[in-house]
Amino acid sequence: MTPRSRLPFYIAVFLLIAAGISLAIWRHIELGIPWFAGEQRPVWMIEARVDFDAENGPVLASLNVPENPPGFRILSEQAASPGYGFSIIEKNGSRRAEWTKRDVSGRQTLYFKTQFIPDESAINRPPNPEPKARRTFWEEPQATAVREVLAQAKERSSTPESMTRELIRLMQPDARTQNTTLLVAEENYLDLLVDMLNHSGIPARTADGLKLEDARRRQSLMPFLQIFNGEQWLTFDPNTADQGVPESLLLWRQGSASLLDVVGGDNSEVSFSMLRQTVPALQLATMEFDSNGLGFLSFYELPIEEQSMFRMLLLLPLGALMVAFMRIVIGIRTSGTFMPVLIAVAFVQTTLVPGLIAFLSVVSIGLMMRGYLSSLNLLLVSRISALIILVIFITAGLSIIGYQMGFNTGMTVTFFPMVIIAWTIERMSILWEEEGAHEVLIQGAGSMFVAISAYLLMSAPLAGHLTFNFPELHLVILGLILLMGQYTGYKLSELKRFTPMKVYD
Amino acid sequence: MDWISPRKLNRLGMLNMNRRNVDYIARYNERSSYPLVDNKLKTKLAVAEYGVRTPRLLQVVRQQHEISGFRQMAEDLGGFAIKPAKGSGGKGITVITGRDNDEYVKASGTRITAASLERHLTNILAGLYSLAGTPDVAIVESLVESVPTLARYSFQGVPDIRIVVFRGYPVMAMLRLATKASDGKANLHQGAVGVGLDIGTGRSLNAVQFNKPITLHPDTGLALENIEIEAWGEMLEMASRCYESTGLGYMGVDLVVDAHEGPLLLELNARPGLAIQMANGRGLLPRLRTIERLKRPHFTPQERASYAMEVFAAL
């Protein structure tokens, strides 16, 4: 009989551990679940406020809302407007929030709140269908001026981007020639730029941006220029020709649609307030589960009650790992294999010191009572059953006495599994009769030590966070336990036990 | 705190618990053979077919109502031993050596009423001593009367011989002597004295109590260095025969030498402890590996026993 090769086993364990870790890393990157419990992420809360005077009749207010502004992800949207019907409508490539009401009069205020997460990786999908440049008809003498200015800009450029930059420079006040002065009137500067760029064959449009500063109110939008270079829309500052979106700038409106339309009202205006919030990264990740459909991988989909149960359940493997380690590698003797884990779980609910006091007092009172039971000559099953009832009496008594004396610790006794306590008492009692008090002390202390170690491991905030949010890490724990099951080396306690062998070496 | 380094232990070839469980018990012991070993009643029946003798079976108590029958039977007995069939490590074994009016006298000399004996039987039936807490049966056996040459070394209680048998080869042996501390039991962790025996001759090598080397028996005061077991070859062959009857590759065989009947098998153990190495002052690993490397295993118990006597003899 040849010993089986252990290589497949080690490969399997390695695969388990690798699978667990890589799944966790993938979910961390993909879903943004943080490694640590307390991580915070900045979130911009932007509130658009629409004011108008209603004209005693039906009202339709429609506000352009951001779709996917470069550099940001939308986390949530909500509208606050009493008595209005509200919906978000996709219309030819732009999203609009629409408020409707049958009969309105007086000054009206509508709010639209959005939360944005700064996200460098937020990609702009290429627009569909591809934008086309539209030719504009110019009257003379503007037509000649436009032709000349465009020719000048074309001369000095090679790409749509450089062409745009050159054109903006030519139109600046300090660089103006006769041609440009003829064209530019202050109020129509940006529209003129857009028309000219379109005329030269480059699709162009305007965009409105918000400068993000914490706790600012009554901000208005700043105009920007966007051109299409064949792949994506690029943003330019129409006054300085700077390309790209500054970090603290959020493009609220992109495209040719109007920002605000109010039918049935006048004197309409829109203004923005903003606030920088820090939200726990975890909350962010879970909020996004709902939106991107990856939620089925997490426990957050479950009802809260089940969630809290799973929080406890998922800590158990850690306790099991601790017990395996303590018994296989350290060699601590415990009373019952997994009694320490169950006690540790109870400690997690009661916190350590009150739990320890409660547990030890129940067990010691129970041991005294068990001494009387053993003289009654009962069958084992009925003895255990009687013991369970006694244990319940003891816990009830401790709770009531503790409560009357003003301790809340008495109440925590109820978290302990009664049957386990009863069995522990039974085992300890038999051990006492057979092996003496010394062995009871050794095994009792060993069990308590393992239980407290398991508790310390399970009650660490990081442990609770990782086990619940990265359930796949349990594969790693499983792999470690399997590895320990193959450990054939000496236990720490055996180094002590075999000490007398020194003589024979 | 005194420690021994793992390197030294490896040099001595000490078998440790994890390696025993993974490399020997799990590998060489079929799970299906365990009931044979864990149940003394089944063991008795199984080894009987292979000519291995055990103490005489007086009664088997299977049901609660049979306990009254036990009382009638025990009336006219001098001494007997009550054992749980599935007990392990000597747990639940009560040895009665005589009567004193209405009370029974235990091996340790303490008196015990009939009622408490019956409670003990009840406990056994309920599975208090069985390995998994399953319901059990109690067996009542005739008392073993140890040969005087060995009995004088033991303090109340029968000295027994533990032989570790690996794939049918006896690899290591020790004599276990009860002490006051062990309450007539032969379990080393309860304080019995373990005397290592030379596989080649059956002579004592050295002795330990509570894992510490000793030279004199703590209670009887006798020197432990010149003990010799009679009919040693026969005992090894008997231990070897247990392998045929159970098929367990790695087990402990507990034998006693009865004054009238000769060597008897007390029980088998599928998880023999590691203390035997301490009593011998030698590690088990080199011997186990010698047998694992054997190209041509021997097929008869006699051949295996004589091979072991030849190869594992202390020089």
pLDDT digits (tens, 9 = 90+) for A89-101: 887 667 888 888 8
Q: What is the pLDDT of residue A15?
A: 93
- Cβ contacts of B197-200, under 8 Å, gap ≥ 24: B197/B161, B197/B173, B197/B229, B197/B280, B198/B313, B198/B314, B199/B170, B199/B171, B199/B172, B199/B173, B199/B236, B199/B308, B199/B309, B199/B312, B199/B313, B199/B314, B200/B309, B200/B310, B200/B312, B200/B313, B200/B314
Q: Contact A475/A19 with Cβ under 8 angstroms?
A: yes
For the CA atoms of chain B, what is the radius of gyration?
19
* Non-local CB neighbours of A344 within 8 Å, separated by 6+ positions: A319, A322, A451, A452, A454, A455, A458
Segment A73-87 shows an average pLDDT of: 83
CA distances from B110 to A388, A437, B79, B94 (A): 33, 20, 14, 12
- Choice between A376 and A342, residue whose per-residue pLDDT is larger: A342
Chain A residues within 8 A (CB-CB) of chain B? 1, 3, 328, 331, 377, 379-381, 430, 434-435, 485-491, 494-505
Residue A198 makes CB contacts below 8 A (sequence gap 6+) with: A133, A134, A135, A136, A204
Tokens 């235990």 locate to B106
Indicate the helix (H) or strand (E) that contains A222: strand A222-228
More confident call, A156 vs A325: A325
The confidence score (pLDDT) of residue A1 equals 42
pLDDT tens string A434-451: 777 888 888 889 999 999
B144-154 as b/e: b if 16+ CB within 10 A: bebbeebbebb
Give the residue with greater pLDDT, B162 vs B215: B162
In tens, the pLDDT along B143-178 reads 888 888 888 888 877 888 999 999 999 999 999 988
- The residue type of A57 is G
User: pLDDT tens digits, residue range B232-246?
Assistant: 888 999 999 999 888
Three-class secondary structure of residue B30 per DSSP: coil
3-state secondary structure B293-309: CCCCCCCCHHHHHHHHH
Q: Please, which pLDDT band fits residue B216 given cuts at 50, 70 and 90?
A: confident
CB-CB under 8 Å, B16 with A501: no
Does the structure show a pLDDT above 70 at A126?
A: no
Task: Quote the pLDDT of residue A291.
Answer: 58
Q: Looking at the complex, does the CB of residue B8 fall below 8 Å from at least one CB of chain A?
A: yes
A77 pairs with which residues across the strands?
A: A114
Distance from C-alpha of B226 to C-alpha of B160, rounded to nearest angstrom: 17
pLDDT band at A2 (very low <50, low <70, confident <90, very high): very low
Q: What confidence tier does B78 reach under pLDDT thresholds 50, 70, 90? A: confident
Q: Is B185 on the interface with A (CB under 8 A)?
A: no
CB distance A380–B127 less than 8 Å?
A: yes
Nearest to B96 by CA among B78, B84, B70: B78
Query: Is it the case that residue B299 has pLDDT exceeding 50?
Result: yes
| Structure-model confidence comparison of residues A303 and A441, the more confident one | A441
Please determine, for residue A297, whether its predicted confidence score (pLDDT) is greater than 70: no
Beta-carbon separation of B281 and A503 below 8 A: yes
Among chain B residues, CA nearest to A336: B132
Which DSSP category does B146 fall into? B
Classify residue A39 by burial, with Cβ atoms within 10 Å: 0-12, 13-18, 19+: middle
Q: Name the residue in chain A with its Cα closest to that of B214.
A: A500
What pLDDT does A436 receive? 76
Is the bond preceding A141 in cis, omega lying within 30 degrees of 0?
yes
Q: Which one, of B286, B273, B305, B32, lies nearest residue B168 by Cα?
A: B305
Q: Do the Cβ atoms of B281 and A503 come closer than 8 Å?
A: yes
Confidence of residue A290 (pLDDT cuts 50, 70, 90): low
User: Looking at residues A365-372, what average pLDDT do you find?
Assistant: 85
pLDDT of residue A127: 66
Specify which of A140-149, A166-175, A435-444 reaches the highest per-range mean pLDDT: A435-444
B16 touching chain A per CB within 8 A: yes
3-state helix, strand, coil in chain A (%, to 5): 50, 25, 25
Cβ(A86)–Cβ(A79) under 8 Å? yes
Q: Give chain A positions within 8 Å (CB) of B184.
A: none
Q: Do A494 and B17 count as a contact with CB atoms less than 8 A apart?
A: yes
For residue A496, list chain B residues with Cβ-Cβ distance below 8 A: 1-3
The answer to whether the beta carbons of residues B196 and B182 sit under 8 Å apart is no
- As a whole number of angstroms, the distance between CA A122 and CA A245 comes to 13
Do the Cβ atoms of A238 and A225 come closer than 8 Å? yes
DSSP string, A61-73: EEEEE-SS-TTEE
Q: Which of A381, A489, A496 sits opposite B126 (nearest CB)?
A: A381
Residues B309 and B298: their CA atoms lie apart, in Å, by: 14
Q: From the centroid of its chain, how far is CA B233?
A: 18
Of A243-252, A441-450, A478-487, the one with minimum mean pLDDT is A243-252
For B219, the token pair is: 């209670």
**pLDDT for residue A463 is more than 70:** yes
Q: Are A386 and A377 in contact (CB under 8 A)?
A: no
Q: Is A99 helix (H, G, I), strand (E, B) or coil?
A: strand
In sequence order, what are the residues at sequence separation of 6 or more whose Cβ sits closer than 8 angstroms to the Cβ of residue B110? none
Hey, what amino acid is at A364? S
**Cα distance between residue B61 and residue B69, in whole Å:** 9
CB pairs under 8 A between A and B: 90
Q: What is the mean pLDDT of residues B197-225?
A: 85
* pLDDT above 60: residue A295: no
Specify the DSSP class assigned to residue A223: E
Asked if B119 contacts A377 with a C-beta cutoff of 8 angstroms, the reply is yes
Considering only A474-483, B193-202, B271-280, which range has the smallest mean pLDDT?
A: B271-280
Average pLDDT over residues A267-296: 72
Higher pLDDT, A71 or A478: A478
pLDDT value at A156 more than 70: yes
Rounded Cα distance between A127 and A231, Å, is 8
**Structure tokens belonging to residue B49:** 């077919």
Question: What span, in angstroms and rounded, lies between the C-alpha atoms of A491 and A325?
Answer: 10
* Mean pLDDT, range A398-410, rounded to an integer: 75
Catalogue the long-range contacts made by B154-157 (C-beta closer than 8 Å, 24 or more residues apart): B154/B178, B154/B220, B155/B179, B155/B180, B155/B184, B155/B217, B155/B219, B155/B220, B156/B107, B156/B108, B156/B109, B156/B180, B156/B184, B157/B95, B157/B107, B157/B108, B157/B182, B157/B184, B157/B185, B157/B186
Query: Does pLDDT of A480 surpass 90?
Result: yes
| Residues A46 and A65: beta-carbon distance below 8 Å | no
Nearest Cα of chain B lies from the Cα of A426 at a distance, in angstroms, of 10
Q: Alpha-carbon torsion A251, A256, A257, A259, what sign?
A: positive
Radius of gyration of chain A (CA): 36
| Residues in chain A within 8 Å Cβ distance of B19 | 488-489
Candidates A494, A497, A504; nearest CB to B281: A504
Under an 8 A CB cutoff, do B3 and A499 touch? yes
* Span B124-137, average pLDDT: 79
Tens-place pLDDT, residues A34-54: 787 767 777 888 888 888 888
Instruction: Give the per-residue pLDDT at A309.
Output: 80
A-chain residues within 8 Å CB-CB of B9? 490, 494-495, 498, 501
